[in-house]
Structure 1
């Protein structure tokens, strides 16, 4: 009788252990599947266009196998090659089928570069494309680009992108969150050392703000502006692989 009871208890224990093992394996599989999901953007831009021609920019946004119909933000930023500081940012139209589009035109011949800034599912990505308008860059422009690229060769990395999320309303003596997204070869760039250099135009005092990586490729810090005016915010980026980049941004602080 005792042996039967012991045998029954042993069978029950083995059954419980097997069930726990199955739950653990299932949970790990679900976690792995969730971790493997990526925010991806298929950015479609014509290779060529004529000056003044209407051009469609299209971003097809997916998260794993899911079409993202409710992205937090999709904006297109474009500029003439070699003149990124003078860029134009436009909102997209959400077609509610996972695609986001906008119509643009370019007034003059040249080579134009652009990002599709996309935020969804607490992730950010910004694929980059280019388009040749008309005859493309003139000989003078090509020479200027070559000189600029040679001058900045040690400092700039092809495929690297910085997207500073400019705060909508900055007020004096109020703590302001500053956020930047980094990307290298269309992938979030993690484990970087990112700092903001902040100064009021005309002032010799420069403040430095350290950041923390809150999401892959997303770096945040906070700063309190003491006076109203136009400030310069320079994002400095370095990492252990020798990356050394910076980008300058102007922000307005109101009373």
Structure 2
């Protein structure tokens, strides 16, 4: 009996020590608020056609280099073609450094945005890359606002699209919002969801801001098939942004 009691006490102490270790990993300021992530994004700003574009992100929190990020992913697209963006997974080189490479087969102006999720926080700075002669984008720039959902200058939205969504099971949706590189807090966010085979019925889902600039909601799909989700964002002034995404439910 004493041996069992001693074993239980030991297990309890190990669990308590593990919990303390996790708490210590979250850096907070003197008021107890988690310190923000700082991400220094560096890219090759000028390169020849087919030349290697090096992408590096140094992630820190306070004076600590972050080696345990949940996600560091580089999103790349050509000017005026945000809907055709692709993502490049990074390599964790330790000391807070995450790297990746890409290249392009034609002249153009390209955007690189790194999406960093770590310790319950998210940030996504952006840089530009000129390939070859840079290309001509006058028409694309004129239609850029409409093409990218009319986003206001400085506003960024990153929808973390779930995988393997199944009918009858709860799915969690998360979107990160930023304004001028900082978490966009206390926004009015709603998800509008509908089945493409039944476009007259739209469900509206309210969200919670669990972390600064991170908005989460759960939804259970009643049917399989192609669906659409539109994210609506408002503030208490004149901001009204939205993005639409196609999703497949199995």
Does the TM-score normalized on the shorter chain lie above 0.5? Answer: yes
Structure 1 position 152, deviation (Å):
7.7
From 164, 183, 191, the counterpart of 1:196: 191
Structure 1 position 155, deviation (Å):
4.0
Cα distance in 1 for partners of 2:134, 2:161 equals 31
Cα distance in 2 for partners of 1:230, 1:49 equals 40
From 228, 233, 242, the counterpart of 2:229: 233
Give the 3 Å change call, closer, same or farther, for CA 31–186 of structure 1 in structure 2: closer
Aligned positions, number: 222
Cα distance in 2 for partners of 1:224, 1:198 equals 11
Residue 143, structure 1, aligned to residue 150, structure 2: no
Cα distance in 1 for partners of 2:175, 2:56 equals 23
Instruction: Tell me the residue number matched to 1:56.
Output: 54
Higher percent of residues as helix: 1
Q: Are the equivalent residues in 1 in contact too, given 2:71–2:118 (CA < 8 A)?
A: yes
After superposition, where does 1:29-48 map in structure 2 within 5 Å?
A: 32=30, 34-35=32-33, 37-48=35-46
Structure 1 position 209, deviation (Å):
1.0
Instruction: Tell me the residue number matched to 1:157.
Output: 152
Give the 3 Å change call, closer, same or farther, for CA 220–136 of structure 1 in structure 2: same
Structure 2 unaligned residues grouped into runs of 5+: 1-27
- Residue 33 of structure 2 aligns to a residue in which SS? helix
Q: Are the equivalent residues in 2 in contact too, given 1:155–1:243 (CA < 8 A)?
A: no
Instruction: Tell me the residue number matched to 1:14.
Output: none
Q: Are the equivalent residues in 2 in contact too, given 1:155–1:244 (CA < 8 A)?
A: no
- The CA deviation string for residues 19-70 of structure 1, in whole angstroms up to 9 with x for no partner, is xxxxxxxxxxx85265372211000012211221111110000000000011
Cα distance in 2 for partners of 1:97, 1:118 equals 15
Instruction: Tell me the residue number matched to 2:126.
Output: 128
Instruction: Tell me the residue number matched to 2:91.
Output: 93
**What is the Cα-based RMSD across aligned positions, in Å?**
2.0
Structure 1 unaligned residues grouped into runs of 5+: 1-29
Q: Are the equivalent residues in 1 in contact too, given 2:149–2:242 (CA < 8 A)?
A: no
Cα distance in 1 for partners of 2:149, 2:166 equals 37
